[in-house]
Amino acid sequence: MSTVQTPLDTADTATGGPRRAAAWSDAVAALALVALLVLGAATHRFYTFDNLRAVLTSASLVGIAALGLTLIVIAGTSVSLAISETASVCAMVFLATQSWGLVPSLLVTLAAGAAITALQGLAVGYGEANPIVLSIAAGFALVGVATWVTGGTSVAPHGAGYIHLNATPGGIASSVYVLVAFTVLLELLLRRSGFGRTLYLTGANRRAATAAGLAVGRTITIAWLLAGALFAVAASFSGAFNTTANINLGGTLTFDAIAAVLAGGTPIAGGSGSAVRTLCGAVLIAALSDVLLLRGYSTGAQVMVKGLIVLAIVVVVHLRSRQGAR
C-alpha cells in the first residue's frame, strides 16, 4: 500500500484533494485489509496455500480486465459498459484462430480487442463522444455482429494451443503471473512515462489539458486501445479455460471489473488511481467472497457483501477526498 504519486501531488493544488484522497483511501484500504486478514485468521482453512491460490485465480481474470478499465477511468472517460461483450467476442476470435498456433492467435485476439476499443477511444478522445452511450452502442454492435457471423452458435477450437494458458507453473495459474506482470508494467507506464503523466492530467481536467496543448485525443485513444488489449488478454484466458466461447461468455465481467476498480478506491471522475490499487481491489473482493464461502454463506450473500463493500468504499473515498468533483 504505497501512496500513489500522481503529478498532481507535487503541484501545490489549492484543495489538496487528490493527495489527501490517495492518503485516506490508502488508509481505508489498509484498514479493510487488516479487518479481512483478522477475519481470515478466524476462518478455518483461509490461510492455506490451496485457498490463497483459489483466491488469486478467481481474482485474476476480473483483475486483468479491471486493469484495462483503470486506464479508461484515469483518463476521465467514465467507464466502458461493453467489457463483457468485448471479452466474449475476443474469446471467440481466440478459439476460432487456434488452428494458426497459440502465438498468432493471441496476437490476433489482442489486435481485435485493441481495435474494437480503440475505435471507441477515437470517438471519445477526438470527438468528445459520451463513453457510456457509445460503449452501450458498441455492446449492441458486438453482440449483433457476433451472432450474425456465428449464427448464434458457440465457437469450438480446432487445435489445442490454448492448453498452455491453463498451465500452472509452480502450482499457481498462469493468469495470476500475467495479472502481476501487467500490474507492474502498467504502474511503470503510469508513473514513469510521459503518456502516464498526460493521462493523469487529462483525467484531472480535460479542458485545461487541451488548453495546455497536451495531446488529449491521442492520449485517450491510446488508453482505450491498451484497455481493449487487456480485455482481450482476460478473454483469452477465459476462452482457454472454458474451451468453447459464445456471446454470453463475458457474463458479468463489465460490472465485476467496475466493482474491482471502485473497490481499489479509484474515483470514477478520473485523474487519479493506479494499477496497484485496482489489483488490491480485485484481490479484496475475491478474498471477501472466499471468506464468506468458507464460512458457509450462499452465493447471494457473497454478491451482496461485494456490492456493499463497493458502496462503502465509494462513499468513504469520496468523503475523505472532499473533492465533490463531478
Partner 1 sequence: MMSRPWIARAFLSRPERLLPTSALGIALLAYLALPVYAGGPPLAFDTFNALQFFARLAPLVLGLGLTMFAGEFDLSIVGTYALGGMLAVQYGGTHWATGIAVALAAGAVIGAVQGALVARFNISSMPVTLGTYIALLGLTKSISGGLSKTYDNISVTLWVDRQIAVILSPRSLLALAAFVVIGLILGCSRWGREVRAIGSDRRASRVSGVRADRLLIGLFATSGVLAAASGALLNFSLGAANPDPGTQPLILAAVGALLGGVSLAGGRGTVVGLLAGALTVSLLAQIVTAAGLQGYLAQLFYAALLVLIVAVEAPGLRRAWTRTSVRLHSRRSAERTRPTDSRKVAS
Give Cβ neighbours of residue 256 (< 8 Å, ≥ 6 apart): 62, 65, 66, 285
> Considering only 19-27, 124-132, 189-197, 230-238, which stretch makes contact with partner 1 by CB under 8 A?
124-132
154: contact with partner 1 by CB under 8 A: no
99: contact with partner 1 by CB under 8 A: no
Q: Which of 5, 130, 154, 243 binds partner 1 (CB under 8 A)?
A: 130
28: contact with partner 1 by CB under 8 A: no
228: contact with partner 1 by CB under 8 A: no
Instruction: Write the binding mask 156 to 195 for partner 1: x where contact by CB under 8 A, - elsewhere.
Output: ----------------------------------------
In whole angstroms, the minimum distance from the beta carbon of 80 to partner 1 comes to: 13
Q: Which of 10, 50, 170, 326 binds partner 1 (CB under 8 A)?
A: 326
215: contact with partner 1 by CB under 8 A: no
Query: Contact at 8 Å (CB) between 114 and 68?
Result: no
In whole angstroms, the minimum distance from the beta carbon of 77 to partner 1 comes to: 12
For residues 134 and 293, which CB has a smaller minimum distance to partner 1 in the complex? 134
- Binding-site size, partner 1 (CB under 8 A): 52
31: contact with partner 1 by CB under 8 A: no
Q: Which of 254, 272, 274, 278 binds partner 1 (CB under 8 A)?
A: 254
Q: Which of 33, 54, 119, 141 binds partner 1 (CB under 8 A)?
A: 141
In whole angstroms, the minimum distance from the beta carbon of 316 to partner 1 comes to: 10
Using a 10 angstrom Cβ sphere, with 0-12 exposed, 13-18 middle and 19 or more buried, the burial of residue 181 is exposed
303: contact with partner 1 by CB under 8 A: yes
For residues 73 and 240, which CB has a smaller minimum distance to partner 1 in the complex? 73
What is the footprint of partner 1 within residues 282-301 (CB under 8 A)? 298-301
Binding interface with partner 1 (CB under 8 A): 78-79, 81, 123, 126-130, 132-134, 136-141, 143-145, 147-148, 152, 254-255, 258-259, 262, 268-269, 298-312, 314-315, 318-319, 324, 326
